[in-house]
């Protein structure tokens, strides 16, 4: 079994921790059951704020309950809306960290997975919301019923980013079979 510390969410959280401080504004673009939302809320602290998006009402219900138990404060807003509209909720250059966990919710409805078109719109808008030195963290999944279209679209998009403005890092589980997930990071320079 794989060491928990090297699973994709742990790996991404390790990177995100470096970019979040007490008082940060963070965005979880794909709330799901709220694992990353809880992490962002904890890192941003009582004086920070977290905006979390999902299109499934069940995601908001699960996350609301989870956070109420986990946190002694409420520094979050759970938003039932597509991440394509995240720029309607946050000012330009205001976020220290924006997280995307693509694909479908395990145990949930696979047809409600993220889709290439809306994901790219949301990623593009995310760039304009990042502060200098802010981090955009993307967990990319492929294979199975997710297919490869979204992975390929995101990887192509990452390659187009201006290297004078953004640092793009990809991590690979290089010796792992069966289309392992790809943690990708964009830092606004």
What sign does the dihedral 86-88-91-92 (CA atoms) show? positive
For position 34 contacting ligand SAM by CB under 6 A, the verdict is: yes
- Comparison of 53 and 76: residue with beta carbon closer to ligand SAM: 53
CB of 95 to ligand SAM, least distance (A): 16
For position 146 contacting ligand SAM by CB under 6 A, the verdict is: no
Q: Which two tokens stand for residue 37?
A: 């939302």
DSSP codes of every residue in 6-47:
GSHHHHHHHHHHTT--TT-EEEES--TTSHHHHHHHHHH-TT
Q: 132 with 93: CB under 8 angstroms? A: yes
- Comparison of 47 and 185: residue with beta carbon closer to ligand SAM: 185
One symbol per residue from 80 to 109: x for binding ligand SAM (CB under 6 A), - otherwise; what is it?
A: --xxx----------------x-xxx----
- Comparison of 41 and 59: residue with beta carbon closer to ligand SAM: 59
Q: Note the Cα 182 to chain centre separation in Å.
A: 13
Alpha-helix runs per DSSP H in the chain: 8-17, 35-44, 57-70, 116-129, 149-160
Residue ranges in 118-137 that form contacts with ligand SAM under rule CB under 6 A? 118
- Comparison of 22 and 61: residue with beta carbon closer to ligand SAM: 61
The residue from 13, 24, 33, 49 that contacts ligand SAM (CB under 6 A) is: 33
Q: 127 with 188: CB under 8 angstroms? A: yes
For position 48 contacting ligand SAM by CB under 6 A, the verdict is: no
Footprint on this chain of ligand SAM (rule: CB under 6 A): 30, 32-36, 53-56, 59, 82-84, 101, 103-105, 112, 114, 118
């Amino acid at each position: 079994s794989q060491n928990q510390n090297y699973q994709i969410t742990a790996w991404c959280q390790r990177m995100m921790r470096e970019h979040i401080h007490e008082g940060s504004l963070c965005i979880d673009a794909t709330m799901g059951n709220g694992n990353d939302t809880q992490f962002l809320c904890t890192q941003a602290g009582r004086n920070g704020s977290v905006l979390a998006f999902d299109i499934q009402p069940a995601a908001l219900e699960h996350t609301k309950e989870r956070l109420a138990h986990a946190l002694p404060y409420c520094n979050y807003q759970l938003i039932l809306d597509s991440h394509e509209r995240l720029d309607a909720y946050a000012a330009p250059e205001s976020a220290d960290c924006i997280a995307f966990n693509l694909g479908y919710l395990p145990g949930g409805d696979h047809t409600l997975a993220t889709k290439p078109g809306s994901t790219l719109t949301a990623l593009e808008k995310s760039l304009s919301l990042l502060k200098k030195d802010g981090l955009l963290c993307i967990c990319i999944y492929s294979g199975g019923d997710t297919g490869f279209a979204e992975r390929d679209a995101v990887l192509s998009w990452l390659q187009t980013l201006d290297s004078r403005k953004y640092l793009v890092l990809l991590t690979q589980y290089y010796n792992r079979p069966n289309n392992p997930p790809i943690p990708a990071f964009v830092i606004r320079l």
